[in-house]
Every structure is written in structure tokens, then in C-alpha cells.
Amino acid sequence: MDLLIVAAVFSTVFFGLLALMLRRGARADHHVSVARRMARPAVTDIDITRRARKREDGNLLGALWKLDLLRRLEENMWQAGLYMRVSEMTLIIVLMFGAGIFFGQAMWHDMPFAFLAGLGFAAIPLLYIRFRRTRRLRAFISQLPFALDLIKSSLEAGSSLSRSLQSVVQEFGDPLGSEFRTVLEQTRIGLPLPRALEGLLKRVPEEDLRLLVVAVRVHDEIGTSLALIVGRLAEIVRMRQRLRLQIKALTAQSRLGGIIVALLPVLVLGAFSLIQPGYAGSLFSDPAGLRILKLAIVLDVMAFITIRRMLRLSF
């Protein structure tokens, strides 16, 4: 009874703190978010980068920063459209890890299982960031061919490239419109347009966008017909998108097979636990059964990861 009361109090405080931090991050002012995004690109001629605080060598966060873990986390958050502080996200991950260990120990009374539960809980914010990042990048790429068509039409009508990008900002919503708005705001404070587009490429690391950045840089250095290049680039991007959809359709059966292979042992064990509890009870009570269950979980996860890696294609 005392354990249940402690668990209830801990979960109430934890989820209350988590909701407060998420609400605080969601209420971030738009101008502050734009200013933070504008501080990302590293340039040589004009420095608008944010000054990082000096970190002590003995500090844990300083050691993580040297390993580039926090920098990668920050980049993934920006690519996902989450403009929170890295320290806030790190605190959320640590709290989730502690909550997973607490509930794992309370349910199974086994430290290895509790540690695995803590890792699973800590991975939830990272999976959420990855999910939002993937969805945002896909939305950006799906809007990119139409934006290139608009840029081509504006250039053929006699508008400058900056005016063409302004038309894109007015016609398209998030994420493409907001990212190009950041590019224009950076150019207004003196950053060259090719440098601003390179910063955009860091926030949206897609090969389709890299082609546009290269075309603008070639136009800036040589002075080619940018309208013709952008029109051809729109065709290439559409062709790559069709190829990507064809690959996804051809590998759908294998990806579904991998999901079924990963979930089948869990479903079979759950069915036996409901139909014949004594048949599967030894896996949770006997020490040898617990070792077999742990080995099965590790092998199942490894098999799922291996199948996903085999089906990942780069083109």
C-alpha cells in the first residue's frame, strides 16, 4: 500500500512537471524562435552565430557536448520544429529514465528489467523527436517541387531571386514557408543569400534541397540562367519522389514481414498467458525462464533492427 502511494505521488509530480515544461516550450514566442534559428548557420565572412557558454571540463554536460551528443540532439530538435532548450529536453529524458527504473522495479523487482524499462521510457522523447523530424522533412520535400515551380515562374516574369522567395513565403505554409522566411530574414541583416541557403540546408538536410543550394551558388558565382536550372531541378525532384514511392511500395511486403516477425513472439506469449497461464508462468517465475525471456527479447529486437537495416536504401 505504501508503495502504491509513493508511486502515485511520484507519477503525479513527474507528469505535472513534464506537462509544465512542454506547455512552456509550446508558448515560446515566435520572434524568439526565429532569432534562435537565425543563430544556427556557421559563416566565415559574417558571423551571426550564437555564442556558446564556456563549459567546465569536469561538468557532465560539458563532456556530453564534447561528444557532440547535445549538439546532435539540438539539431534534431530544430529539424523537428521543437525550439526548446537542450537542457530542458535532457531533463525530460533523465526524468523519463528515472520513472522507467522506478516502475520497472516496482512491477518486476528485477534490476536488469528495471534498467531496460528506464531505457525504454528515456527513448520515448527521442522517438517523438525522430517522428516529428521525419514528418516535417517529408512535408517540406512534398512542398518543394511546387515552390520550385513558383520560383521559376517568378524568375521568368523578371523578378529577382529574393522576390521569388518572398512569393514562396506568402504562398506556402509551414514548414517550407517558415524556413524560407528565416532565409529572407537572414538576408535582411546582411547574410549573403547562398550562405543563408546553406543554413537552411543544415536545418533541412535533404538531398533535393542541396541541389537548389548548389544551383543558387553556381548562379551567384557564374551568372547562369537560374530559371532554366530551377525548372529542371523541379523535374528532378519529382522524379526522385516517384522513385522513392516505388521503392517504398516494392519493400512494403518485407517491412510488414519484419513487423510481424517482431510482434509474433509477443502475441503468442500473451495468448498462452491468457489461455493457459501455467504454461507460460515459468518464464516469469523460474530463474532459468527469466534468462530465456531476456535472451528472447534481445534476439527479437536485434532481428527487427537487422531487417530494418537491410531494407534501408540510399539513392
Asked whether 162 and 187 are in contact (CB, 8 A), the reply is yes
Taking residues 191-212, report their average pLDDT.
87
State the chain's mean pLDDT as an integer.
78
Count of domains observed in the chain: 3
Domain identity same for 153 and 214: yes
Q: Which of 35-39, 76-80, 268-272, 291-295 has the lowest mean pLDDT?
A: 35-39
Boundary-marking domain end, from 122, 137, 152: 137
Confidence of residue 297 (pLDDT cuts 50, 70, 90): confident
In a domain, 247, yes or no: no
Angular region, 43: left φ>0, alpha ψ -120 to 50, beta rest: beta
Predicted confidence at residue 107, as pLDDT, reads 74
Asked whether 129 and 79 are in contact (CB, 8 A), the reply is no
Predicted confidence at residue 299, as pLDDT, reads 86
Please give the grid coordinates belonging to residue 194: 547562398
pTM listed for this prediction? 0.68
Q: What percent of the chain has pLDDT over 70?
A: 77
Asked whether 127 and 133 are in contact (CB, 8 A), the reply is no
Domain identity same for 132 and 169: no
Domain identity same for 153 and 227: yes
What does each C-alpha distance from 305 to 107, 145, 182, 273, 308 come to in angstroms? 27, 33, 37, 26, 5
Domain identity same for 198 and 296: no
Domain identity same for 115 and 164: no
List alpha helices for the chain, DSSP H: 2-26, 30-38, 60-66, 69-79, 86-108, 111-156, 161-171, 176-188, 193-203, 207-222, 226-250, 252-275, 277-285, 287-310
Boundary-marking domain end, from 137, 157, 175: 137
Question: Sign (positive/negative) of CA torsion 253, 255, 260, 261?
Answer: positive
Q: Is pLDDT at 243 greater than 60 in this prediction?
A: yes
pLDDT in tens, 214-226: 888 888 787 777 8
Q: Is pLDDT at 235 greater than 70 in this prediction?
A: yes
Cα 287 to chain center, whole Å? Answer: 39
Domain identity same for 125 and 112: yes
Phi–psi pair at 17, nearest 5 degrees: -65, -40
List of residues 6+ apart from 64 with CB closer than 8 A: 70
Domain range holding 101?
2-47+58-137
Predicted confidence at residue 127, as pLDDT, reads 92
Predicted confidence at residue 20, as pLDDT, reads 55
> CATH number for the domain including 166?
1.20.81
Q: Is pLDDT at 3 greater than 60 in this prediction?
A: no
Predicted confidence at residue 191, as pLDDT, reads 86
Domain identity same for 213 and 195: yes
Q: Is pLDDT at 37 greater than 90 in this prediction?
A: no
Boundary-marking domain end, from 78, 112, 137: 137
In a domain, 32, yes or no: yes
Q: Which of residues 278 and 94 earns the better pLDDT score?
A: 94
Cα(280)–Cα(283) distance, integer angstroms: 6
pLDDT in tens, 72-127: 888 888 888 888 888 888 899 999 998 888 887 887 677 777 888 888 899 999 99
